[in-house]
Structure 1
Amino acid sequence: MESISLLLEEALSPYQVSLTPSGVQGECLVTVKNRAGAIMVERDVDRAQLMDKRLLVDVVDCLLRDLKIAEGRLEPSMIAALRSAAQTRGGAVA
């Protein structure tokens, strides 16, 4: 798990990332803090998502999106508009 934590820290730099066990099914709580130590995002993630490289990329993408929303750089309504546009074109937006 230590290597996963380091990968997350590298991918989400300059944020601090911590992983803590959080459930009986092997879930982990991913906590992302800013430089001042304030929690920006917390998400429960299935351990299998952290072990599979492709799923880990999806986790990082979602955390980056959530960080943009938390910082006010991306509005939730914009996400809905992007999804709608992608569905109209036949693509997919996560």
Structure 2
Amino acid sequence: MESISLLLGEALAPYHVTLTPSGVHGQCLVTLKNAVGAIVVEREFDQVQFMDKRLLTDVVDGLHRDLLIAEGRLQPCAIEAQRNVAQDRHQALSH
């Protein structure tokens, strides 16, 4: 878990990343704090997501998105609009 914490710390700098075991099914609480120590984002993940490179990339992408929302640089409705556009493109290519 130490190496995962270091990887997340690098990927999410300048935020301080803390990983804490939580839950009875192997969950892990990821806490991101700003420079003054205030919690900016806190999310729970299954530890399995840290073992696969692709899933870990999804974790980091999700935390980046959550940081953008927490900082007011991205509105949740903008995320939904982006998903809809991507889905429409995928469906158009499938036909």
* TM-score interval (norm. to shorter): over 0.9
Q: Which secondary structure state, in structure 1, belongs to the residue aligned with residue 74 of structure 2?
A: coil
Q: CA deviation at 1:53?
A: 1.3
CA deviation profile, 1:36-83 (whole Å, cap 9, x unmatched):
111111111000001111111100000000000000000001001111
Alignment RMSD:
0.9
1:35-74 matched pairs, under 5 angstroms: 35-74=35-74
Q: TM-score, normalised by structure 1?
A: 0.93
Q: Which secondary structure state, in structure 1, belongs to the residue aligned with residue 43 of structure 2?
A: strand
User: Which residue pairs with 1:9 in the alignment?
Assistant: 9
Give the number of the structure whose alpha-carbon radius of gyration is greater: 2
User: Which residue pairs with 2:23 in the alignment?
Assistant: 23
How many residue pairs get matched?
A: 91
Q: Which structure 2 residue ranges, 5 or more long, are not aligned?
A: none
CA deviation profile, 1:21-42 (whole Å, cap 9, x unmatched):
0011110000001111111111
Q: Which structure 1 residue ranges, 5 or more long, are not aligned?
A: none
Q: CA deviation at 1:88?
A: 1.2
Q: TM-score, normalised by structure 2?
A: 0.92
Counting aligned pairs with the same residue, the percent is 68
Q: Which amino acid in 2 is paired with 1:17?
A: V
Q: Which amino acid in 2 is paired with 1:33?
A: K
Query: Runs of 4+ in structure 1 displaced over 3 angstroms?
Result: none
Distance 1:83 1:54 in 2: 19
